[in-house]
Structure 1
């Protein structure tokens, strides 16, 4: 007879499994049976994530004196429970751009506050404003709370409308503050020099040379930098590089609104040995797998607007009459009179944005209004593998450069608590499964993939996934 100290926990675990099993059998998502049990047992043996301990509430520290607006970047950023990503995002853009003025709007539904993280960077010389809705919502009628059970379209419209108002007011403010270049990308996106190498890239480049030699594409000229772009290890080099290329007359950099293509990075893991090899000098000082920019190296094909989605922009507000711009209709082309159409050609772009899907825990961490529809477990699985075609390490040198410029003690302090704790599992991730009516509609149709349409490809992925799981049962 085993001792009671062993028997009681064993019986408790067995009880958990027995209670879960009938629920899982009736689940409309059979492929999650085993993983759901695994996650429940994980949550039994690991600590519950204490958000208050991770990100303690703080009052904002006083801002430092304003830095020069000509040789630094500014940014407008919307956040909602993004702290695990915000730490890396701030360090990277502080070092590479250099980012010195940030306006942050925190979603009122957010369960965490970013202030404790932002205070680190105020002490580093970054000027940071934390806005609430009343700071940018200038209409007479206030923003009203939307109930949790509101229709998806209502939630989506609120989210996108709020984004447009925030970005416009943020740009107006930065214009008044005599800033110049402003980035408008998210906390899972990183601006990087667009000069990749490797066999897969060379294959793509040869193909593009042939394609762009034809008359129909003759206007899409391969960008030729006046000088070799720096690496991300070089501190504060991007603004200098942009100024240099403007003076050299490169067309890409002349507009006050530059369109930037995105490149989606999948959730296909990089081996630990490769990850450590990307920053060997500091591999023993940091858990490099906590960095999105080092952990995820495989991306979707360039110029595939289905997998990479539409591009983003950066705007030089010193050259734009912001107060007289019309309301933004699209975040991908906020000012139609000066911003290009959002299908930005990678071939002719000197800068790009790396967009990281991230791990499942990171993807599902916040309570997204699109959960169960546009953002679901199935969407994450589909994007995880369909965006893993080529490798790219352009972004990775930044961490070595950051540690070298800051020193290891300061860099470690600024990067403290980066990523989600390794023990974290989403205890409610069943809520991210496709909504039953959405799944039923997909399963009832049988459209073959005659093109690369995103929804057609995703629907086919879902049908194969659940039909195969039914056959295995």
Structure 2
């Protein structure tokens, strides 16, 4: 990623040491009407992989690009080698804008971004696995069942068949942490 940013910096425009990536938030609703190519990829994942754990293949409904209400603040990549010792010595106060003197306000138009971040709410099981008091059932329900956005994000699933073809099924399973003996039974509902 850093090589890509440096290339863009040289060829297109200067990239700040704190590079903001807009966020595209995906809920936990599966879209089953995304076309034959998407279904072909899903069949491959269901056959040889633990499909319930594969958020990028399962969930395709997201907040509209540039919809702050749905996507919230972006995230940053920081090139620490370009920050002063003083900036790095201060404890970051916010993950969205960790070094205020060099990190801009964490809102950026999607179309202007060199990189963007897909942020998956995913299943309740995955969402609640991180110990964070903000990760409540109510918060998950609001994000998981968001339906005011776009769906069938077709460019997301293309990585998977190429990944499997490049590494082969067995090695791809290892790299993706798949244990077919213990297929996951993902919990898609939180306790009320």
Distance 2:91 2:125 in 1: 35
Deviation at 1:324, TM superposition (A): 4.6
Q: Which has the larger Rg?
A: 1
Shift of residue 401, structure 1, vs aligned partner: 2.4
Measured after TM superposition, the shift of residue 360 of structure 1 is: 2.1
Q: CA deviation at 1:323?
A: 5.4
Aligned mate of 1:389, from 130, 149, 159: 149
Check if 1:377 corresponds to 2:140.
no
Q: Can you give the 5+ residue segments of structure 1 that lack an aligned partner in the other structure?
A: 1-96, 98-180, 182-238, 434-473
Could you give the per-residue CA deviations for residues 435-459 of structure 1, whole angstroms, max 9, x where no partner exists?
xxxxxxxxxxxxxxxxxxxxxxxxx
1:310 counterpart = 2:70: no
**Following TM superposition, where does structure 1 have runs of at least 4 consecutive aligned residues deviating by more than 6 angstroms?**
none
User: How do 1:30-179 residues align onto structure 2 when only pairs under 5 Å count?
Assistant: 97=1
Q: Which residue in the other structure is 2:111 paired with? A: 347
Q: Which residue of structure 1 lines up, in the alignment, with residue 168 of structure 2? A: 407
TM-score by length of 1: 0.35
How has the CA–CA distance of structure 1 residues 389 and 281 changed in structure 2, closer, same or farther, with 3 Å as cutoff? Answer: same
Contact 1:266–1:357 (CA<8 Å) still a contact in 2?
A: yes
Q: 1:268 to 1:354 in 2, by over 3 A?
A: same
Structure 2: stretches of 5+ with no match in the other structure = none
From the superposition, tell whether residues 390 and 289 of structure 1 become closer, same or farther in structure 2 (CA, over 3 Å). Answer: same
Specify the SS of the correspondent of 1:416.
Answer: coil
Q: Which has the higher contact order (CA 8 A, sep 6+)?
A: 2
In the alignment, the residues of structure 2 paired with residue 290 and residue 397 of structure 1 have an alpha-carbon distance, to the nearest angstrom, of: 17
Q: Deviations over 1:166-212 (max 9, x none)?
A: xxxxxxxxxxxxxxx4xxxxxxxxxxxxxxxxxxxxxxxxxxxxxxx
Among candidates 54, 57, 82, match of residue 319 of structure 1: 82
SS in structure 2 at match of 1:390: coil
Mapped to 2, the partners of 1:376 and 1:356 lie a distance apart of 16
Aligned to 2:185: 423
Is the Cα–Cα contact under 8 Å of residues 257 and 316 in structure 1 kept in the other structure? yes
Task: Say yes or no: does 1:290 pair with 2:50.
Answer: no
Any idea what SS the aligned residue of 2:145 has?
A: helix
Q: How large is the Cα RMSD of the aligned pairs? A: 3.1
